[in-house]
Amino acid sequence: MFLICQRVFYLLMVCFLIGCGETEDPVIPVVTIEFVGYKDLDVAQFVLKAKPRPDDLAVLIEFIAEGKESFHSWKVIPKGPASLTFTVRLDSSVSWEVSILPFWEKSNTDYPLTGVGLSSYDELIRYELGDPFKVESVPLDPTELARLATPKGMVLIPEGEFLMGSDDPDASSDEKPSHTVYIDAFYMDIHEVTVGEYKRFVRETGHSALPSWVYNSSPTDQFPVVGVSWYDAMAYAKWIGKRLPTEAEWEKAARGGLSGEKYPWGNDPPDGTQCNYADKNTVGLVWNFDGEEKLVAWADEDVDDGYVHNASVGSFPANVYGLHDMAGNAWEWCLDEYDSNFYASSPSDNPISGESIVDTVENSSNIITHRVYRGGSYASNANQVRVFQRNSSLPTKGFNDLGFRCVKPVDSDTQD
């Protein structure tokens, strides 16, 4: 919920100093604002408006508060009848003084500026500094506010519909039919949970340590954590205040806004630059599958992605949403129960197979059915790193190429 706070604006105009018949520097508008909080984020939006003019208008905005480090920002309003909107994140526990100083080539005091502060959930109140004085309402953009509230290390995945699954001839039966799904906005980790992040969880909670064989494929703290069961992933997510993504959330995020494409980057097969998968480096690799050693015999010997095992997170380009390694590197656990026929009867809004999100999270320790995992790994062939590829295992299992990443609903107080 947005925290609705009464907004207090003190608009102080510094008058011209008159001495010996000469006018000093132009008027400097000063605004002191109390900011509204959006979740754990404090934001304020400003609109700088200038009358039509032949030159660009440069503006210096300075933010000062007692006990806080001041900072400033330069903005340029293009010539002509133009305005500039920008948003800042500030600590609302103190009172900020915002000084707006305009500069222009030809001195002219007839340039009114506008300062805007958040006044309520659904509107902004615009105060124009100048003659005549005006007040008007401006709608807020909830999507922009959600983006501004994005937790560190995560990105906003916007709400909306996408085409899930595939009707391609090479798609498996459990990946059909292609169907339209609507997903609420949510935040997702930019990269897979790392060994270092998981080790901190183990230290602080006493949770079981990683198997020693994990470090053969993820040797340092910057690599994706693997060898974790679905139960382990659920425990970590709960500890960090997040959860695992539903299968539909995962696929929407992996597609990055692309529709009907096979991979996060499009339809071109991997060539060693987009992801870490089974290339010539994995030829003859002995792969540990749940403690059982298997030989990787399906590698693409014509491609070199530079890695035998896992790559450190973020080693390959992000998709359009800013997410790394949604194809290859390490498979990723999802929240859903695996159902090979789920797509035939899937709900159109925020689908999840099995129990609801809330029930799955709250009763995770009692769940024994197969769970979905997605995305492919360093030991996967090109087909297995497609965005609609589905796989599953028992929640007790842990492999040396299976990890996870977390999500968080935009409205963290509500989980369907």
What is the residue-level pLDDT of the chain in tens, covering all 416 positions? 233 232 322 222 222 222 333 333 333 344 444 445 555 556 666 666 666 667 666 666 777 777 888 877 777 767 776 666 666 776 667 776 766 665 543 333 443 444 433 333 233 333 333 332 233 334 456 777 788 778 899 999 999 999 999 999 989 999 999 999 999 999 999 999 999 999 999 999 999 999 999 999 999 999 999 999 999 999 999 999 999 999 999 999 999 999 999 999 999 999 999 999 999 998 777 665 555 556 677 889 999 999 999 999 999 999 999 999 999 999 999 999 999 999 999 999 999 999 999 999 999 999 999 999 999 999 999 999 999 999 999 999 999 999 999 999 997 543 44
Estimate the crossing angle of helix 195-205 against helix 230-240, to 10 degrees: 80
Quick one: CA dihedral 183, 185, 188, 190, positive or negative?
A: positive
Domain residue spans of the chain: 9-147, 150-409
Structure confidence at residue 34 (pLDDT): 45
CATH topology of domain 150-409: paralog of FGE (formylglycine-generating enzyme) (3.90.1580)
CA 303/CA 42 separation, integer angstroms: 48
Structure confidence at residue 32 (pLDDT): 46
Which pTM value belongs to this model? 0.73
CA 11/CA 114 separation, integer angstroms: 11
Structure confidence at residue 10 (pLDDT): 27
Structure confidence at residue 128 (pLDDT): 35
Structure confidence at residue 131 (pLDDT): 31
The hierarchical CATH code for the domain 9-147 is 2.60.290
CA 366/CA 363 separation, integer angstroms: 6
CA 390/CA 323 separation, integer angstroms: 19
Contact call for residues 400 and 287 (beta carbons, < 8 A):
yes
Quick one: CA dihedral 27, 28, 33, 37, positive or negative?
A: positive
Which residues, other chains included, contact 149 with Cβ-Cβ below 8 Å and sequence gap of 6+?
A: 38, 39, 40, 41, 410
150-409 and 9-147 share a CATH fold: no
Structure confidence at residue 20 (pLDDT): 33
Token pair listed for 336: 């859903």
Which residues, other chains included, contact 249 with Cβ-Cβ below 8 Å and sequence gap of 6+?
A: 157, 183, 186, 188, 407
